[in-house]
Each structure stands twice: as C-alpha cells, then as structure tokens.
C-alpha cells in the first residue's frame, strides 16, 4: 500500500489509516499500519536493522483516519504524557442513525468483555466500569441520519460506537452495536491537535470528511 503521510518531523509521524487495516499486528498475522510505517522509514532514511516506532494511540480496525506515532523515544515520552493528561484534542466524524440534537455531552460508564471484544454501557458507576465522556455537535441531518463531529474527553474501548448506540443513535455500519448494515463503518478520526515533542508549538492535523459519509445526509 502507498502510505499517506499527513505530518512528519524528527520525532513524530502522523499517517492516514484506511478502514479495516490493523494499527498494530495481532494473532491474525495481517499486515499492520506499523509495519507499513517502519518500511517507509527504513527506505526513506536508508536505515539498517530494526526501526523504532512508538505506538501512542489506536483506532479500531474498522475505523479510518489520523494516527500519530513516535519516531524516537523522546517523542514517545513527550506525546504519551499528553495523551495521559488528555491535553491532546481528538476529533472524530461519524454518521449515526436518526436525528441527533444540535449539541450534546454523553457521560457514562463502560465495561469491556475481552472474550466478546464488546463493551457494555451503564448510566451510573458500575463495578469496574470506566467513566467515558464525549461531546458532539450535529453538522448535518435529514432525520434518518445525522453527521456528527465528536470531541473525545476520554479514550475508552469502542467508546463512540457504544455510547451513541446506548442513546439510540448507532453508527451506520456498526452491526456489533446494532447499527445499520453498510459496506464500511462510518467513523473517522478527522482532527488531531497536539504540542510538539521538542517545542511548545501547537500542531493541528485535519482531513476531509469522506465523501461516503456525506452521501447519507445530502
């Protein structure tokens, strides 16, 4: 595959992850985004041996969009801290069923079943469930579907997918959480804002909302 590099400096690299590509290799043995980036760095910089690449965050396999990696240990340390402190702004765009309010905030508690690779959502604290929060605004709607811009406040497993399903607005293509069947899951990481690894400059990466999303709300 041809790697779509969205941002690169001495310490960091951000790329576009297509839908259904693994971020990191797993027991399936399928090619991963990390594999592709390591190959890219090895060829571009003519580096022998192993390539360092720090995994800073993930996207679910069916989700497309921006993923940021560290090329150095300093980049990994500095950016991991930003992710832990929730100072990085992560924006997603999704198409959900039904007509959503103009704006909203969802706060709930998420408990993952590792065996089923699925989460349960609770309205109040529940056992080992983790607090999950996001806010959203509706960009377009035709009553059957809504295009929403989502700002994550926490990064829980399947958070966006599960929380919207829980309020009756499952994502299109997300049959795991009751969504309408579609050839792809309509969820993309479309904006990422962070501070550089070695400076105090703010960096912002944006991609366009996929055309396949827009056709649902025309």
Q: How does residue 53 score in pLDDT terms, banded at 50, 70 and 90?
A: very high
Secondary-structure breakdown of the chain: helix, strand, coil percentages, each rounded to the nearest 5: 20, 35, 45
Closest CA to 171 of 202, 206, 134: 134
**Widest pairwise Cα distance in the chain:** 55
Decide if pLDDT at 49 tops 90.
no
Distances (CA, A) of 103 to 106, 160, 198: 10, 15, 36
- Among residues 60, 123, 174, 199, the one annotated as catalytic is 60
pLDDT in tens, 154-210: 989 999 999 999 999 999 999 999 999 999 999 999 999 999 999 889 999 999 999
pLDDT in tens, 25-44: 887 778 899 999 999 999 99
The residue segments making up the domain with residue 189 are 5-217
Res 97: pLDDT? 98
Q: Would you state the structure tokens that stand for residue 86, as one six-digit string?
A: 């929730």
Decide if pLDDT at 48 tops 90.
no
Q: Would you say the pTM of this structure is higher than 0.85?
A: yes
Region 68-93: mean pLDDT is 95
73/176 Cα distance (integer angstroms): 36
Q: Are 191 and 75 spatial neighbours (Cβ–Cβ below 8 Å)?
A: no
Res 162: pLDDT? 97
pLDDT in tens, 139-153: 999 989 999 999 999
Q: What are phi and psi of 51, to 5 degrees?
A: -105, 130
Beta strand 64-70 pairing with 145-152: unpaired
pLDDT in tens, 99-151: 999 999 999 999 999 888 899 999 999 889 999 999 999 999 998 999 999 99
Domain of 156: which CATH number?
A: 3.30.2350.10
Res 65: pLDDT? 98
Region 91-98: mean pLDDT is 98
The number of folded domains in the chain is: 1
Q: Is 60 annotated as catalytic?
A: yes
């Amino acid at each position: 595959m041809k790697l779509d590099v969205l941002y690169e400096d001495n310490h960091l690299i951000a790329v576009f992850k297509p839908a259904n590509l693994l971020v990191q290799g797993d027991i399936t043995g399928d090619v991963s985004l990390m594999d592709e980036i390591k190959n890219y760095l090895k060829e571009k910089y003519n580096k022998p041996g192993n390539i360092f690449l720090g995994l800073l965050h993930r996207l679910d396999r069916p989700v497309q969009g921006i993923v940021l990696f560290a090329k150095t240990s300093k980049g990994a340390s500095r950016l991991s801290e930003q992710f832990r402190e929730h100072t990085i702004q992560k924006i997603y765009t999704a198409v959900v069923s039904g007509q959503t309010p103009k704006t909203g905030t969802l706060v709930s508690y998420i408990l993952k079943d590792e065996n089923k690779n699925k989460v349960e959502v609770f309205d109040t604290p529940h056992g080992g469930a983790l607090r999950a929060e996001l806010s959203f605004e509706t960009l377009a709607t035709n009553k059957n579907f809504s295009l929403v811009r989502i700002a994550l406040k926490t990064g829980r497993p399947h958070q966006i997918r599960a929380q919207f399903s829980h309020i009756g607005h499952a994502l299109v293509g997300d049959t795991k959480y009751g969504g309408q069947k579609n050839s792809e899951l309509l969820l993309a990481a479309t904006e990422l804002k962070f501070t550089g690894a070695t400076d105090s400059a703010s960096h912002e990466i944006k991609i366009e909302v996929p055309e396949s999303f827009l056709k649902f709300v025309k």
